[in-house]
Amino acid sequence: MPAGSLFKSTAVRLAILYIALFVIAYLLANIAAYQMVVRFLDERLNASVMERYREITTAYEARGLGGAVQMIESHGPAIRGQETIYTLRRAVGEPIAGNSDLSDVPEGFSTLRPEDQNGSAPLYKLFKGSLGDNDLIVGISYDDTDRLAHIVLTSFGWATAIILVVGMTGAAILAYRTRERIIVLSQTAHAIGHGALSRRLPVSSRMDDIDILSSEVNIALSRLEMSVVVLKQVSTDIAHDLKTPIGRTFLMLEDALQSDETDAMRDGIEAALAELASIAKTFDALLRIAQLESQSRTANFTIFDLKPLVDDLYEIYDATASEAGYSLTLDGTTAACWIEGDPDLIRQLIANLLANAMRHTPAGSQIVLSLSHRSRLIHLSVADNGPGIPPEDHARVFDRFYRVEKSRTTAGTGLGLSLVKAIADLHGARMMLFDNAPGLRVVAEFPEAKAVDGNAPDRQPG
């Protein structure tokens, strides 16, 4: 299966988008931080200029103009380094002191650019104020501020480059690993789509989003595989179990067609119709089982008391059992047994269990229909003292068309217990088989019904 284009990979595209958004956000944050640093440095430079200016004004206030001139001339290192410049002028423009001769400087803070000085001197922050009748101009070079700003900008640049390289490398590694996982998942899904239903998506121990999704898909695949296996088995069983009655029907119709006697022809057709009715009944049972297994028969669900329904079926089958030579008894609680489900389907479940018990036990056998409460569970059981079912067959008797070897001589399609199991599954009930020593006990365990309109169903005293 082709892996597809690298740049069309969702993992790669998401990685590129993520790192691009991260770098853009980081650059915007750096720009904001750089502007804050530059503003802070400019404020510090203003404070330094004002500090120099106040030193001179303080000297002027203390010792007059001579004190101010002495203070200006005492800043020798700064003057020699040209880091700080001073200009003290009379109001008429005559220079008094300083290491520069600045003119046409506006009041307050201003900037002296190299082109304003006709040379390559650095940029200066200036402040001009009055010193008595004189003008005092103090300026400090931008060199230190520019160097600090350059260091900050360079550090931001290197940090951005490192983050970009590390981020792109990490994103590429993660994208590659994710893409490799997706390729493996795609190849497995491709194989499953071409018939390898036993394959499963790989699940790692990390249990991340992909692993959780793979686990859920694997559960669905297991159910799908089971459904396909069951479908194949059902198809095989239908072909095997219906081949004989269909062939027998053909023979009956051929015999009737070749017969010259009207009565013999009628008997042959009636026998063939009986076989066809049995086949139609089998298909009808299969259809009901399929509907139940698809969970599509829940429209008539309601909360009802199982006890009256069991009593009604007991009265109906008691007479039938007596006529057939069986002893049917009713045992169990007299309290209400509330369950949620379809009463008609539950009636069919009980009827199938009773009919199955009478069909596979000899005349004179005892059959017990019972109902009881056990720890928020409703137990419905049908027990007999007949030949029972071998323990090795307990797990298979609910399969379609499966019949215990000693039961193959009796009438039936092998779908009765399959229908019972489908009804039980639809109602969330559990079917269990037990050795009745002798005989068989079939138990359907239903969950007791939940609250109705906020109130639990009332139990009758028992």
Last residue of a domain, one of 274, 293, 312: 293
Summarize the confidence of residues 48-57 as an average pLDDT.
91
127: pLDDT confidence band, cut at 50, 70 and 90? very high
The residues with which 125 forms a beta bridge, in sequence order, are 111, 140
The residues with which 128 forms a beta bridge, in sequence order, are 108, 137
Count of the separate structural domains present in the chain = 2
- Report helix, strand or coil for 397: coil
Provide the pLDDT for residue 462: 34
Four-point Cα dihedral 160, 163, 165, 170, nearest 10: -160
Is the domain of 264 the same as that of 352?
no
Is the domain of 309 the same as that of 416?
yes
Phi-psi region of 428 (alpha: psi -120 to 50; beta: other; left: phi over 0): left
Is pLDDT at 210 greater than 60 in this prediction? Answer: yes
CATH of the domain at 396: 3.30.565.10
Is pLDDT at 50 greater than 90 in this prediction? Answer: yes
Provide the pLDDT for residue 183: 83
Summarize the confidence of residues 122-128 as an average pLDDT.
87
Does any domain span residue 165? Answer: no
Does any domain span residue 111? Answer: no
Give the rounded percent of residues in the chain with a pLDDT score beyond 70: 82
Is pLDDT at 209 greater than 60 in this prediction? Answer: yes
Is pLDDT at 195 greater than 60 in this prediction? Answer: yes
The residues with which 112 forms a beta bridge, in sequence order, are 124
Provide the pLDDT for residue 54: 92
Is pLDDT at 67 greater than 50 in this prediction? Answer: yes
d(CA 26, CA 19): 10
Please tell me which residue, 188 or 279, carries the higher pLDDT value.
188
Is pLDDT at 21 greater than 80 in this prediction? Answer: yes
Does any domain span residue 158? Answer: no
Last residue of a domain, one of 270, 293, 316: 293
Please tell me which residue, 312 or 245, carries the higher pLDDT value.
312
Query: Are 398 and 417 in contact, with CB atoms under 8 Å apart?
Result: yes
Find how far residue 386's CA is from the centre of its chain. Answer: 51
- Output Rg (C-alpha) for the chain, integer angstroms: 49
What is the number of other CB atoms lying within 10 angstroms of the CB of residue 16?
A: 15
Query: Are 342 and 300 in contact, with CB atoms under 8 Å apart?
Result: yes
Is the full-model pTM beyond 0.85?
no
Highest mean pLDDT among 157-161, 167-171, 255-259: 157-161
Last residue of a domain, one of 236, 267, 293: 293
Question: Per-residue pLDDT tens for 402-456?
Answer: 655 444 445 455 677 888 888 888 888 998 999 888 889 999 999 998 745 544 4
> Which backbone phi and psi does 200 adopt, to 5 degrees?
-135, 150
User: What is the domain range of residue 394?
Assistant: 302-447
- The DSSP H or E segment spanning 310 is helix 306-324
Is the domain of 418 the same as that of 383?
yes
Is pLDDT at 166 greater than 90 in this prediction? Answer: no
Provide the pLDDT for residue 5: 56
Is the domain of 424 the same as that of 324?
yes
Provide the pLDDT for residue 310: 92
Please tell me which residue, 144 or 179, carries the higher pLDDT value.
144
Provide the pLDDT for residue 293: 61
List, in order, residues 6 or more apart from 101 with CB less than 8 Å away. Answer: 87, 95
Task: Report which residue type is found at 134.
Answer: N
- The DSSP H or E segment spanning 29 is helix 10-74
Question: Per-residue pLDDT tens for 381-401?
Answer: 999 988 888 877 777 777 766
d(CA 16, CA 179): 13
Exposure on the CB side of residue 314, measured as CA atoms within 13 A: 20
Summarize the confidence of residues 210-221 as an average pLDDT.
88
* Percent of the chain that is helix, strand, coil (3-state, to 5): 55, 15, 25
Is the domain of 426 the same as that of 357?
yes
Is the domain of 397 the same as that of 287?
no
Sheet holding 134-141, edge to edge: 95-98, 84-89, 134-141, 124-131, 108-112
Round the average pLDDT of the chain to a whole number and report it.
80
380: pLDDT confidence band, cut at 50, 70 and 90? very high
Is the domain of 431 the same as that of 332?
yes
What is the number of other CB atoms lying within 10 angstroms of the CB of residue 202?
A: 13
- Report helix, strand or coil for 251: helix
Does any domain span residue 163? Answer: no
Is the domain of 384 the same as that of 306?
yes
Is the domain of 306 the same as that of 352?
yes
> Which backbone phi and psi does 246 adopt, to 5 degrees?
-70, -45
d(CA 398, CA 292): 14
Question: Per-residue pLDDT tens for 305-342?
Answer: 999 999 999 998 888 888 888 999 998 877 888 999 88
367: pLDDT confidence band, cut at 50, 70 and 90? very high
Query: Are 442 and 349 in contact, with CB atoms under 8 Å apart?
Result: no
> Which backbone phi and psi does 312 adopt, to 5 degrees?
-60, -45
Does any domain span residue 34? Answer: no
Is the domain of 327 the same as that of 424?
yes
Summarize the confidence of residues 156-177 as an average pLDDT.
82
Is the domain of 281 the same as that of 324?
no
Summarize the confidence of residues 272-298 as an average pLDDT.
69
Query: Are 149 and 132 in contact, with CB atoms under 8 Å apart?
Result: no
Least confident of 19-23, 113-117, 149-153: 113-117
d(CA 206, CA 213): 12
The residues with which 369 forms a beta bridge, in sequence order, are 330, 382
Is the domain of 307 the same as that of 287?
no
Summarize the confidence of residues 205-214 as an average pLDDT.
84
